[in-house]
Amino acid sequence: MKIAVMPGDGIGTEVVAQALKVLRIVAPHAETQEAPIGEAGIQAHGVPLPAPTLELARKADAILFGSVGVADEADIPRERRPGTGLLQLREALTLYANFRPAYMFPELIGASTLRPEVVDGLDLVIVRELNGDAYFGQPRGFETNQAGERVGFNTMRYSESEVERVARAAFECARRRSRKVCSVDKANVLEASQLWREVVTRVGPDYPDVELSHLFVDAAAMMLMRRPKQFDVIVTGNLFGDILSDAAAMLTGSIGMLPSASLGYNRKGLYEPVHGSAPDIAGKDIANPLAAILSLAMMLRESFEMEDAARRVEQAVRAVLAAGYRTADIHQEGMRSVGTRDMGDAVVEALRKQAA
Ligand code: NAD
C-alpha cells in the first residue's frame, strides 16, 4: 500500500493529520509519503503542482488529499493559483470520475437546514465528470470586443468518449446501489449537453438492470432541495456537478462531513474531502476532520479492496457521532463540543474499542 499524502493548504493539513492517525490503526503496514501541492507547492517549488509531487502521485497506489487554496485569489494569475495544482493532477492522472456520496447520518438529522422528513434516509451519490467541460475546454481567455470592452470567455466542450466513460462509471456505481441513474444536463439550451444526453441514452441499454432518467440542471437543483431521496446516482458534467454536489453536501448538514473519490481507468484514486481549505477557520483546530476520515474509508474500499477496514472506519465515525462528539459546524444543543484533533482522537479511540 503506497499512499501519497498531499495535505495541501489551510485546514487540509489539519484534517489529513487526523485521517493519518486513523490509517495507522486500520492499516499499520501502509507506506505513506508526503508532498506539497497548492500554495504549499508554490512555497516549496514555485508552482502549484511541483514535478516531485506529480512523480510521487504517479508511483503511488492512491492519493490522500486535503485541500488547496488561499484567501483572496482573485488577483493571482491562473497558473499560479493553488487550485490549478489539483486540476493539473486530476488531468495528468486522467481521474475523470468524481464520486461524491451524500449520506444522512441519523445522528446529524438536526444539523440539516431541511426538515427531517425530507432528508431522513438520504443516500445518494453524485458522479461528476472531472476532466472536461468549461474547466478545460479551449479556447478560453479574455479579449476586447469592438466596443473596446473586455470580454471573458470559456468553452463548454465534451467528446463522446469523455461522456461515455463517466456514464459507464455511473451505471456501474448504480449496480452496487439501488440501480437508478439520473443524468443531469442542460440539453434544451447547450449543444455540449445535447451530445451528453445522446451518449448517456445510447449507453443506457448496456445496463438493462439500471433505470435511467434525465433532468435539466435547473430542475435537478430544485428536486435536490424538494425531494432529494428520489435520487440514487446522479451523473453530470464538471460544472453542474461542482455546484450540485455542494448543494447535496448541505442537505446532510455540513460540508465537513462529506468525502469524495476521484477515479480513472484503474484502481488508483485520489481521495479528498469535498470542502476547500477554509482560510476563515484554518489554524484554529475547529475544522471537522470527518470528511477526510471518511475519504480514507473510501480509499480503503476502492483502491485497496479493504471492505472490512473501510466499514470499521465508517462505524467508528458513527460511534463518535452517537456518543455526542461534535465539531463547531455540526454542533447541536447538549452535545459535546470538540476540536479537530480531539475528534480525530475520538475516532481512533472508537476503533480501538471495536478491536477490544
Ligand atoms: P470551503 O469549503 O473552504 O469553505 C466553505 C465554508 O465551509 C467556510 O465557511 C468554511 O469555514 C466551512 N468549512 C469547510 N470545510 C469545513 C470543515 N471541514 N469543517 C468546518 N467547516 C468547514 O470553500 P470556499 O470558502 O469557497 O473556498 C476556500 C478556498 O478553498 C478557496 O481557495 C477555494 O478555491 C478552495 N477550494 C478548494 C477545494 C479543493 O481543494 N478540492 C475545493 C473547494 C474550494
pLDDT, tens digit (0-9, with 9 covering 90-100), for 148-162: 999 999 999 999 999
pLDDT of residue 33 exceeding 80, the answer is yes
Exposed (0-12), middle (13-18) or buried (19+): which is 209, by Cβ within 10 Å? exposed
| Nearest atom (ligand 1) to Cα of 329 | 20
| 308 flagged as catalytic | no
**DSSP letters of 117-186?**
HHHTT-EEEEEEE-S-GGGT-SS-EEEE-TTS-EEEE------HHHHHHHHHHHHHHHHTTTSEEEEEE-
Pocket test for ligand 1, best of 11, 87, 274, 277 (most atoms within 8 A of CB): 277
Centroid of chain to Cα 194: 26
Determine whether the shortest distance from the Cβ of 277 to ligand 1 is under 6 A: yes
Residue 280 marked ligand-binding: yes
Active-site annotation holder among 96, 103, 158, 186: 186
pLDDT at 355 over 80: no
What pLDDT score does 119 carry?
A: 93
Alpha carbon distance, N-terminus to C-terminus of the chain? 25
The mean pLDDT value of the chain amounts to 95
Residue 113 has pLDDT above 90, yes or no: no
Alpha helices, DSSP H, located in the chain:
11-26, 39-45, 51-59, 82-92, 116-119, 160-175, 191-203, 217-226, 238-251, 290-302, 307-322, 340-355
> Counting beta carbons within 10 angstroms of the beta carbon of residue 289, is it exposed (0 to 12), middle (13 to 18) or buried (19 or more)?
buried
- Rounded to whole angstroms, how far apart are CA atoms 93 and 91? 5
Rounded Cα distance, 181 and 210, in Å? 7
* pLDDT tens, residue by residue, 178-220: 999 999 999 999 999 999 999 999 999 999 999 999 999 999 9
254 among annotated binding-site residues: no
278: Cβ below 6 Å to ligand 1?
yes
Site to substitute for ligand 1 among 242, 274, 275, 284, most atoms within 8 A of C-beta: 275
Instruction: Write down the catalytic residue from 103, 135, 271, 325.
Output: 135
Binding site annotation covers 322? no
353 is catalytic: no
DSSP 8-state symbol, 274: S
Asked if pLDDT for residue 333 goes beyond 90, the answer is no
Do residues 106 and 57 lie in contact, with contact meaning Cβ atoms separated by under 8 Å?
A: no
Kindly state the cell numbers that stand for 252.
446532510
How are beta strands 97-103 and 62-67 bridged, if at all? unpaired
Q: Is 275 in the pocket of ligand 1 (CB under 6 A)?
A: yes
Least confident residue range of 110-124, 161-175, 188-202, 269-283: 110-124
Q: Which three cell numbers stand for residue 116?
A: 427531517
| CB within 8 Å of 157: residues ≥ 6 apart | 132, 133, 134, 136, 137, 138, 192
Res 189: pLDDT: 97
Does an H or E element contain 305, and which?
none
21 is catalytic: no
What is the structure's pLDDT at 249?
83
pLDDT at residue 356 greater than cutoff 80 = no
Is the pLDDT confidence value at 246 over 90? Answer: no
Domains, the chain, in order of start with CATH, read: 1-96+264-356 (3.40.718.10), 101-255 (3.40.718.10)
Give the residue-averaged pLDDT of 89-117: 91
What are 56-79's pLDDT values in tens digits? 999 999 999 999 999 988 889 888
pTM over 0.75, yes/no:
yes
Tens digits of residue pLDDT in 213-244:
999 999 999 999 999 999 999 999 999 999 99
User: What pLDDT shows up at residue 250?
Assistant: 83
Active site residue 242: yes
The DSSP element (H or E) to which 335 belongs, if any, is: none
| Residues 12, 277 contacting (CB under 8 angstroms) | yes
Spatial separation of the C-alpha atoms in residues 322 and 231, rounded to whole Å: 26
Maximum CA extent, the chain: 74
171-181 in b/e form (b: 16+ CB < 10 A) is: bebbeeeeebb
> According to the annotation, is 90 in a ligand binding site?
yes
The rounded percent of the chain whose pLDDT value lies above 90 is 87
Cβ-based neighbours of 161, under 8 Å, separated by 6 or more: none
Neighbouring CB atoms inside 10 A of 337's CB total 13
If pLDDT is split at 50, 70 and 90, which confidence band does 292 have? very high
Question: Is the Cβ atom of 276 under 6 angstroms away from ligand 1?
Answer: yes
Catalytic residue among 61, 123, 242, 342: 242
Q: How many CB atoms lie within 10 A of CB 119?
A: 20
- Ligand 1 centre to CA of 279 (Å) is 7
